Structure 1
Amino acid sequence: DVKGDILIISQFTLYGDARKGRRPSYINALNPKEAEKMYDKLIQYVKDKGFNVKTGEFGGDMQVEIINDGPVSILLDSKKEF
C-alpha cells in the first residue's frame, strides 16, 4: 500500500554471541566473502519479489539514520536457536 523502498544494509554486530564474558564473540560469524555472498543473495531475492531496493556498502563504515534503542543491536538467544 505504501509503495516505499526497502533499505538493506549489513550489520555485523547482529551475530555477536553475548552469553559469556563482557564482550560479544564473533568467532562463529561467516567469513567476509561468504557473508557478502549471502548479503547479495538476500538483495537479489527481495528485488525478485518486485520491491525497489536500496543498499548500503557491505562491510562499509556508513552513517544510517534510524530509530534504534542503543548504539549496537545484538540478538540475545540463551538457547542458541538461531
Structure 2
Amino acid sequence: MLTVNMLDAKTSLSKLVDAVENGSESEIVIARNGKPAAKLVPIDVPPRKKRRLGLLAGKYPPMDFEAFQAMDAEIEATFLLGSKET
C-alpha cells in the first residue's frame, strides 16, 4: 500500500490512477498533513458475458434469396399504406 501526500497526488494523479488501474498498486492512500484522508482503489468491473452465436438457429424457417426478395413488395406496401403518392 502506497501513501502519497496531497501535493504529490495533485501533480501525479494520472500516474497514480494508472498504477491502480494496471494492478501495480492495489490501493493508494492520499494523506493530508501526514494523516490518511482518502483511498484510491480500482473499480470492480464485472467480467463481460460471452455472446452466444446461433442463439436463434432453427427458430425460423429457412429462406432462400428468391423468397427473401419476394417480401420486398409486401414490406413496401406496409410502409406506404398510409401515405399518398403525388
Which structure ranks higher in relative contact order (CA pairs < 8 Å, sequence separation ≥ 6)? 1
TM-score normalised by length of structure 1: 0.27
- Which has a greater percent of helix? 2
- Which has a greater percent of strand? 2
TM-score normalised by length of structure 2: 0.26
Bigger CA radius of gyration: 2
